[in-house]
């Protein structure tokens, strides 16, 4: 604490000077304060970009001066003569209801805000002049390794050249040899096959595939297997999930208890899986996700091709943040800003590998990222995710009642493929015919009934009134005279007839009404894309939010990328496309800037992710933080070599998988020797392949796969989940089996219990690296759950169907199916003994048929194998 | 099924002796050892992966810890550290304070507390009127008013408070304690986290992680609604001999798998987790069943009041777990507004009232209950967040994060009740007297558990890592009985 001069009224250790609070805020009200807190927050929905009621635009000082129908809105120096002040002060503006007709959550201009407005006008409506500003980011800051373009160094020379299969091996072996270590021997053939299968597809190889591979002694059998796996659609399901983790994907809105489902989110999930399976180059993949809507003139497009559809769906990447703004109480600037900032956090950690979030409130403490950098980057997204020009995430606004949102105010695009659109239209047309039929039936039954009921009710009124009330009710509201209106209001409720009353009188009506309701239920909502798209026009200005608080705007900033990222690459330049889709081009410029071959971070971050999911640990162990507080790469030359090679391979991931998986490093055994424990205890040098537990989805998918319960149908809307009384959340069982975990509804508030126990992440907001816990609750899940029971039973039934009654055969089949190998003689003996004992135990119960006893005993073995460490840990 | 080449090291089949030598250091080993009639307490060496009880460095004052973690940063000047000067100088902004406020424009002037303070108990500890129930336990508490920490952002500060480092990845206090002390109970996890079922706490499972300590020391999260542990019982009951046969086969497979893969501690942890899961089936049901408590007790905790029910349930569970020898119980809370309940940037008054209403009565009931059962003497109870708040206003009704000075309290085993320790300046902004760092706090906690923070080390990456890190840390003797 700086001692200015002593204050005698206070203890001597408090060396402070008091100043009036007002003085520190200098008394003056800034232009941006008024613009943000009054006009942008409360007025411009109706007097701005999209609507210009009374021909008035309240977005800028200039447009205020210009005014509208009633003349200038602002007279500098004279608040009382300024229409904006007068109308707000008289509480005539904003109107009582918002544009959706909601009056519950309309916020008025508060007294302090009004006072600010008054003072600003009284002061002559001064124009904001931002102080000259110089970036503090220096060349020394740019010299940090992660901000320099990747450098491709020559592949090092090593002693044990026999072990070099790919350049990757040379980089790794160099460091190992420096510690007197080498690579471990190759893993045996079938174990390696199992490793590759789980790694690329998240599923075990089928026993048939294992047998075929075991017997394939031709050269390059391993390489062909890798190619097969890369070509299988399950590759995209496995690796797509990693990207979805990074993107923060979920099928629900997020933070509040309602946690509404996002019924259209799956399109983006399928897009990711499809793109990976197509081996879409990463530069294209990123560009579509960041700016797919700016890649073509979608507003003018006559046809939606699959490519165009993908471009729009891809922007779902920027729609993953928790967003509860369709709750009326939360549809305000702070909550909208939270959505934007979460999306910026997801983008910067997943794509840039930088923790930008610190710079939301202040200059980054450790990295050369200024607060201005944050708001520049934020401005790029703000032309679409604009807190002052907002679209809520759902189809209706929940404001005490459900208010449907007009399509033009939804954050959806209707540009789905014709096939889907036509299918839904056809379906709905059929349903509509049913509805019309049922509706006619209902009417025909109801009419006479209504008349009877009406007469009965009318009869309860005094006789003198009856004729007049009848006339009043039968007169349409707009044609009623004063007396009619009075009578209708007074007696309307008495003579009104509810459907329930009709149903009570007539089962015929009741049935017809039920059929009508059922038919209405069958109507499908119009298919829409959960997309991000520019709000068009002149984007709302972005200000630095002091201390991260949007109500205290600081200097204005223009869209740009962090200043420290400039070495060796072209700057960020925005070009507004000249076409009918009104879009700023800000995000397209970001994408173009990102995918420059020399970019310091784009390829490095992605290659680190690829490495991490192959070896369990990234070359940089903090995948979302390549900055000062992140870890330094264990093998910087290798990371750079991979990054440059990735670009040389046309940004194609499959080529890189192939390169990694055909390396000696990847093919090593996983055994740990004392020498390794001494010289490479944490396997930073990759002296062996790390044995790893399956991650959550692979545990579930593998159990379903070996038991034959896995339904391999791909894509489409997410599968339903159920919650048991106990609180266990599971996938909903269907006769066709259960689909892979990636297709289950990922509701933030209801994670699948099995997946959560095995460390499936919660998207808060995204996940770049999963935890790996080992706790008793996992054992309880795998040993006791209905899921395991069902899998063990199905597995046993399946084995019996193939292996018949011979116990040896059964055990062989169980081992080959679940563990991709045959049992040893000891294991066979041990398993046989257990099955025999189990059979005895079950038949002692004397309630079981022989066949049941055999199946139950075998199911016991299956349960054990599904719980065995060898099933869960991959060597 | 040895499937390794023998290039580097001979992949010899482990001998029976090797097998037992290795097994004896796991919990599975503990089980085997107990079956062989070995006294668990005979174990003396502190080895990794070992949950058998360990001798302490010196006599322990407490055997267990209950931590009320109040994430978000409870405001010291509104709860435990009265500052009348705030009223006198309301609205003033001491310029020097701005040196530590990042956005000068956003900072308001000094803001008096909306609550009234009074001396409580015989010891006369100051508390505000928003903690009426805790006031009845004043004489049990040692309030430290001079805590300070290094970070004023939530996540780093939370990591710091749990694990001594501002980064994720370090073991938490609970993990260290169990590493140091082992487990008193073979039927329940030694380290339990009771989080709010409404929502995952900020930081998630990192609040009870073992970090780079072996995974056996990680906290186990128990559900406080529905069945405390999902699938605690089999979905379908099977004859006991069937279950025993299956388990025996699994144990053989797991042991052989483990024996062939030395150097993977995760496999020990997994074996231990199955052993414990089996025992938990019996013991956890009983331990977590608060319905077994008398109606009087349930009422005392506030189990039947909507406002307190959620927290009361976790408090009761905490007591039942401690009674059964669980070492560490972390009790978390949440609120509908977000995953950071004490983070009162706006409407501080309403927010504090809400947080205190939910927790004050259950916490006081737990303290009284422990005392009545004679458990308070050996149970250390700690209350606090990751930092405190500034005495300044933020936006007129809230307070921003303050890391320079804040209050926590401790009670129970080894703590001198009725103590107020340390002081902040006239405004509660900066700890100025008997400052207590997070490391000091940790050193004190370990001390009360009978562990010397300088000696409790774990070799990681070649470094002898400690909970208290490299900066000097001291035991705060002034609060010890």
Claim to verify: residue B126 and residue B202 sit in the same structural domain: yes
A784 touches chain B (CB under 8 A): yes
Residues of A in contact with B11 (CB under 8 A): 671
Q: How confident is the model at residue A630 (pLDDT cuts 50, 70, 90)?
A: confident
Claim to verify: residue B369 and residue B468 sit in the same structural domain: yes
Claim to verify: residue B431 and residue B297 sit in the same structural domain: yes
Pick the more confident residue, B7 or A327: A327
Q: How many CB pairs under 8 A join A and B?
A: 252
Are A376 and A559 contacting, i.e. CB atoms less than 8 angstroms apart? Answer: yes
Of A547, A727, A865, the CB nearest to B230: A727
With CA atoms as reference, the chain A residue closest to B427 would be A14
Ranked by mean pLDDT, the top range of A133-147, A357-371, B203-217 is A133-147
Claim to verify: residue B295 and residue B274 sit in the same structural domain: no
Claim to verify: residue B100 and residue B69 sit in the same structural domain: yes
Claim to verify: residue B266 and residue B399 sit in the same structural domain: no
Question: How far apart (Å, rounded) are the C-alpha atoms in residues B468 and B173?
Answer: 10
Residue A110 in this model has a pLDDT that exceeds 70: yes
Claim to verify: residue B320 and residue B465 sit in the same structural domain: yes
Q: What is the mean pLDDT of residues A841-866?
A: 87
* Helix axes B173-181 and B438-448, enclosed angle (nearest 10): 30
User: Tens of pLDDT along A401-451?
Assistant: 889 999 888 999 999 999 999 999 999 999 999 999 999 988 888 888 888
Are A746 and A249 contacting, i.e. CB atoms less than 8 angstroms apart? Answer: yes
Give me the number of domains chain B comprises. Answer: 3
CA angle B49, B473, B211 (to 5 degrees): 30
A20 touches chain B (CB under 8 A): yes
Question: How far apart (Å, rounded) are the C-alpha atoms in residues B35 and B19?
Answer: 16
Last residue of a domain, one of B264, B287, B310: B287
Are B173 and B439 contacting, i.e. CB atoms less than 8 angstroms apart? Answer: no
Segments forming the whole domain that contains residue B419 = 54-228+290-479
pLDDT for position A118: 94
Claim to verify: residue B340 and residue B238 sit in the same structural domain: no
Q: Which residues of B164-174 are buried (b: 16+ CB within 10 A; e: fewer)?
A: bbbbbebbbbb
Question: How far apart (Å, rounded) are the C-alpha atoms in residues A129 and B402?
Answer: 32
Q: Average pLDDT of chain A?
A: 90
Question: How far apart (Å, rounded) are the C-alpha atoms in residues B468 and B477?
Answer: 17
Last residue of a domain, one of B270, B287, B304: B287
Residues of B in contact with A759 (CB under 8 A): 205
Task: Give the closest-approach CA distance of A835 to chain B in angstroms.
Answer: 9
Claim to verify: residue B282 and residue B302 sit in the same structural domain: no
User: Tens of pLDDT along B442-464?
Assistant: 999 999 999 999 999 987 655 67
A669 touches chain B (CB under 8 A): yes
The 3 state secondary structure assigned to A175-221 is HHHHCCCCCCCECCHHHHHHHHHHHHHCCCCCHHHHHHHHCCCCCCH
Burial environment of residue B27 by CB neighbours within 10 A (0 to 12, 13 to 18, 19 or more)? buried
Own/partner contacts of B334-338, CB < 8 Å, gap of 24 or more, are B334/B195, B334/B196, B334/B198, B334/B199, B334/B201, B335/B198, B336/A256, B336/A257, B336/B198, B338/A255
Do A725 and B5 make contact, defined as CB atoms within 8 angstroms? no
Q: How confident is the model at residue A113 (pLDDT cuts 50, 70, 90)?
A: confident
Q: What is the ipTM of this complex?
A: 0.87
Question: What's the CATH code of the domain at B452?
Answer: 3.40.720
Q: Which residues of A179-210 are buried (b: 16+ CB within 10 A; e: fewer)?
A: eebbbbbbbebbbbbbbbbbbbbbbbbebebb
Nearest by Cα to B417 from B452, B385, B457, B370? B370
Do A185 and B8 make contact, defined as CB atoms within 8 angstroms? yes
Q: What percent of chain A has pLDDT over 90?
A: 68
Task: Give the closest-approach CA distance of B22 to chain A in angstroms.
Answer: 15
Mutate to test the interface with B, among A546, A675, A723, A780 (most CBs of B within 10 A): A780
Q: How confident is the model at residue A719 (pLDDT cuts 50, 70, 90)?
A: very high
Q: How confident is the model at residue A241 (pLDDT cuts 50, 70, 90)?
A: very high
Residue A257 in this model has a pLDDT that exceeds 80: no
Last residue of a domain, one of B241, B267, B287: B287
Of B93, B153, B189, the CB nearest to A19: B93
CB atoms within 10 A of CB A459: 10
Nearest by Cα to A489 from A513, A471, A473, A510? A473
Residues of B in contact with A749 (CB under 8 A): 199
Claim to verify: residue B298 and residue B343 sit in the same structural domain: yes
Do A863 and B221 make contact, defined as CB atoms within 8 angstroms? no
Do B205 and A773 make contact, defined as CB atoms within 8 angstroms? yes
Do B96 and A727 make contact, defined as CB atoms within 8 angstroms? no
Do A20 and B92 make contact, defined as CB atoms within 8 angstroms? yes
pLDDT for position B461: 52
Helix (H) or strand (E) holding A563: none
pLDDT for position A818: 98
Claim to verify: residue B193 and residue B330 sit in the same structural domain: yes
Can you say whether residue B185 is alpha, beta or left, with left for phi > 0 and alpha for psi between -120 and 50 degrees?
beta
Burial environment of residue A95 by CB neighbours within 10 A (0 to 12, 13 to 18, 19 or more)? exposed
Tokens representing B376?
């308070």
Lowest mean pLDDT among A573-577, A680-684, A747-751, B434-438: A747-751
User: Tens of pLDDT along A380-412?
Assistant: 999 999 999 999 998 998 877 889 999 888 999
Are B150 and B166 contacting, i.e. CB atoms less than 8 angstroms apart? Answer: yes
Claim to verify: residue B18 and residue B139 sit in the same structural domain: no
Do B266 and A693 make contact, defined as CB atoms within 8 angstroms? yes
With CA atoms as reference, the chain B residue closest to A10 would be B426
Do A869 and B229 make contact, defined as CB atoms within 8 angstroms? no
Q: What parts of chain B have a pLDDT lower than 70?
A: 1-50, 95-96, 98-107, 167-169, 215, 226, 335-338, 460-463
Residues of B in contact with A362 (CB under 8 A): 102-103
Do A677 and B263 make contact, defined as CB atoms within 8 angstroms? yes
Mutate to test the interface with A, among B221, B231, B326 (most CBs of A within 10 A): B231
């Amino acid at each position: 604490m700086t001692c200015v001069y002593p204050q005698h009224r206070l203890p001597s250790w408090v060396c402070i000077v008091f100043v009036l609070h007002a003085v520190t805020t200098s008394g003056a009200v800034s232009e941006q304060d008024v613009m943000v807190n009054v006009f942008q927050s409360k007025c411009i929905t109706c007097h701005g970009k999209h609507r210009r009621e009374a021909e008035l635009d309240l977005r800028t000082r200039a447009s205020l001066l210009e005014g509208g129908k009633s003349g200038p809105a602002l007279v500098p120096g004279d608040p009382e003569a300024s229409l904006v002040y007068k109308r707000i002060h008289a509480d005539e503006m904003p109107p009582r209801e918002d544009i959706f007709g909601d009056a519950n959550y309309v916020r008025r201009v508060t007294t302090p805000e009004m006072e600010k407005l008054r003072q600003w006008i009284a002061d002559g409506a001064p124009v904001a002049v931002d102080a000259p500003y110089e970036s503090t980011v220096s060349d020394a800051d740019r010299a940090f390794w992660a901000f320099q373009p990747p450098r491709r160094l020559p592949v090092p020379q090593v002693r044990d050249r026999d072990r070099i299969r790919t350049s990757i091996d040379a980089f790794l072996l160099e460091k190992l040899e420096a510690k007197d270590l080498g690579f471990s021997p190759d893993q045996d053939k079938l174990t390696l096959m199992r490793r590759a299968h789980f790694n690329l597809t998240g599923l075990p190889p089928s026993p048939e595939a294992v047998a075929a591979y075991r017997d394939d002694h031709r050269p390059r059998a391993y390489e062909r297997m890798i190619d097969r796996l890369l070509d299988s659609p399950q590759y995209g399901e496995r690796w797509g999930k990693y990207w979805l983790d990074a993107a923060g994907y979920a099928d629900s809105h997020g933070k509040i208890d309602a946690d509404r489902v996002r019924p259209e989110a799956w399109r983006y999930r399928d897009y990711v899986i499809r793109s990976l399976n197509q081996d879409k180059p990463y530069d294209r993949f990123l560009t579509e996700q960041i700016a797919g809507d700016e890649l073509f003139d979608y507003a003018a497009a006559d046809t939606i091709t699959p490519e165009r559809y993908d471009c729009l769906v891809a922007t779902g990447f920027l729609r993953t943040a928790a967003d509860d703004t369709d709750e009326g109480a939360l549809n305000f600037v702070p909550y909208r800003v939270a959505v934007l900032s979460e999306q910026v956090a997801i983008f910067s950690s997943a794509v840039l590998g930088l923790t930008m979030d610190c710079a939301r409130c202040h200059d980054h403490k450790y990295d050369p990222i200024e607060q201005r950098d944050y708001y520049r980057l934020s401005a790029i997204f703000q032309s679409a995710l604009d807190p002052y020009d907002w679209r809520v995430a759902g189809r209706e606004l929940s404001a005490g009642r459900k208010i449907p949102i007009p399509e033009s105010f939804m954050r959806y695009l209707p540009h789905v493929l014709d096939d889907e659109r036509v299918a839904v239209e056809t379906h709905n047309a059929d349903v509509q015919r049913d509805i019309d039929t049922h509706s006619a039936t209902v009417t025909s039954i109801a009419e006479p009934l209504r008349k009877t009921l009406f007469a009965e009710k009318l009869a309860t009124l005094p006789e003198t009134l009856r004729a007049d009330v009848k006339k009043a009710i039968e007169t349409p509201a707009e044609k009623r005279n004063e007396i009619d209106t009075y009578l209708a209001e007074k007696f309307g409720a008495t003579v009104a007839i509810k459907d329930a009353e009709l149903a009570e009188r007539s089962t015929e009506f009741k049935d017809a009404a039920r059929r009508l309701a059922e038919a209405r239920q069958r109507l499908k909502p119009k298919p829409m894309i959960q997309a991000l798209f520019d709000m068009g026009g002149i984007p709302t200005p972005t200000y630095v939010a002091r201390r991260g608080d949007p109500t205290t705007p600081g200097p204005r900033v223009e869209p740009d990328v962090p200043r420290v990222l400039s070495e060796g690459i072209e700057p960020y330049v925005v070009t507004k496309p000249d076409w009918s889709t009104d879009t700023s081009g800000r995000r397209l410029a970001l994408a173009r800037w990102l995918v420059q071959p020399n970019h310091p971070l784009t390829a490095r971050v992605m290659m680190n992710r690829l490495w991490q999911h192959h070896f369990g640990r990234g070359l940089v162990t903090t995948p979302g933080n390549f900055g000062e507080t992140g870890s330094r790469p264990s093998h910087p030359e290798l990371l750079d070599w991979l990054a440059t090679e990735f670009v040389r391979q046309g940004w194609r991931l499959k080529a890189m998988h192939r390169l990694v998986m055909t390396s000696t490093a990847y093919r090593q055994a996983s055994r740990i020797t004392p020498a390794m424990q001494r010289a490479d205890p944490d396997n930073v040098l990759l002296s062996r392949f790390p044995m790893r537990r399956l991650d959550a989805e692979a545990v579930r998918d593998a159990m379903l796969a070996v038991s034959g319960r896995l339904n391999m149908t791909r894509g489409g809307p997410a599968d339903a989940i159920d919650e048991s009384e106990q609180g266990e959340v599971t996938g909903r069982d269907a006769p066709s089996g259960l689909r892979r975990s990636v297709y289950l509804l990922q509701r933030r508030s209801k994670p699948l219990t099995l997946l959560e126990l095995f460390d499936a992440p919660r998207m808060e907001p995204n996940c770049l690296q999963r935890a790996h816990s080992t706790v008793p609750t996992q054992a309880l899940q795998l040993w006791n759950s209905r899921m395991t029971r069902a899998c063990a039973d199905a597995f046993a039934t399946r084995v019996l169907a193939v292996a018949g009654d011979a116990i040896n055969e059964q055990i062989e089949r169980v081992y080959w199916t679940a563990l991709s190998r045959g049992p040893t003689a000891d294991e066979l003996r041990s398993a046989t003994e257990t099955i025999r004992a189990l059979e005895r135990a079950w038949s002692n119960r004397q309630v079981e048929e022989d066949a049941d006893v055999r199946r139950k005993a075998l199911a016991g073995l299956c349960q054990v194998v599904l719980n065995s460490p060898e099933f869960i840990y991959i060597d | 099924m040895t499937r390794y080449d023998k290039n580097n090291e001979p992949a010899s089949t482990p001998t029976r002796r090797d097998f037992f030598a290795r097994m004896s250091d796991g919990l599975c080993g503990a089980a085997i050892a107990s079956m062989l009639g070995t006294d668990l307490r005979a174990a003396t060496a502190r080895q990794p992966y070992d949950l058998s009880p360990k001798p302490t460095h010196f006599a322990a004052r407490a055997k267990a810890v209950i931590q009320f973690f109040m994430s978000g940063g409870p405001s010291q000047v509104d709860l435990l550290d009265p500052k009348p000067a705030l009223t006198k100088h309301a609205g003033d902004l001491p310029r020097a304070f701005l040196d530590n406020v990042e956005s000068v424009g956003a900072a308001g002037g000094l803001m008096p507390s909306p609550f009234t303070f009074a001396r409580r108990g015989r010891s006369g500890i100051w508390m505000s009127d928003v903690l009426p129930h805790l006031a009845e336990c004043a004489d049990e508490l040692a309030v430290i008013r001079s805590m300070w920490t290094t970070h004023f952002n939530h996540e780093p500060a939370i990591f710091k408070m749990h694990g001594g480092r501002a980064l994720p990845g370090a073991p938490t206090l609970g993990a260290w304690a169990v590493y140091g002390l082992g487990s008193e109970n073979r039927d329940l996890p030694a380290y339990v986290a009771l989080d709010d079922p409404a929502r995952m706490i900020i930081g998630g499972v990192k609040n009870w992680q073992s970090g780079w300590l072996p995974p056996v020391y990680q906290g186990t999260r128990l559900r406080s609604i529905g069945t405390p542990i999902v699938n605690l019982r089999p979905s379908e009951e099977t004859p006991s001999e069937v279950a025993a046969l299956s388990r025996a086969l699994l144990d053989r497979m797991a042991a052989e798998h483990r024996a062939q893969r030395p150097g993977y501690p995760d496999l020990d942890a997994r074996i231990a987790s199955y052993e414990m899961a089996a025992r938990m089936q019996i013991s956890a049901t009983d331990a977590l069943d608060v319905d077994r408590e008398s109606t009087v007790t349930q009422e005392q905790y506030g189990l039947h009041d909507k406002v307190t029910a959620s927290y009361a349930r976790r408090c009761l569970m905490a007591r039942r777990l401690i009674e059964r020898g669980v070492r560490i119980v972390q009790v978390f809370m949440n609120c509908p507004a977000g995953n950071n309940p004490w983070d009162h940037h706006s409407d501080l008054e309403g927010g504090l009232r809400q947080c205190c209403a939910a927790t004050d009565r259950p916490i006081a009931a737990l303290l009284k209950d422990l005392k009545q059962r004679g458990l308070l003497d050996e149970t250390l109870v700690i209350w606090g967040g990751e930092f405190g708040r500034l005495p300044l206003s933020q936006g007129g009704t809230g307070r921003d994060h303050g890391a320079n000075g804040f209050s926590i309290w401790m009670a129970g085993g080894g703590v001198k009740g009725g103590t107020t320790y340390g002081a902040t300046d006239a405004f509660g902004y900066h700890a100025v007297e008997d400052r207590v760092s997070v490391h000091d706090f940790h050193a004190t906690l370990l001390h009360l558990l009978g562990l010397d923070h300088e000696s409790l080390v774990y070799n990681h990456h070649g470094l002898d890592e400690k909970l208290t890190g490299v900066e000097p840390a001291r035991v705060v003797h002034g609060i010890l009985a």
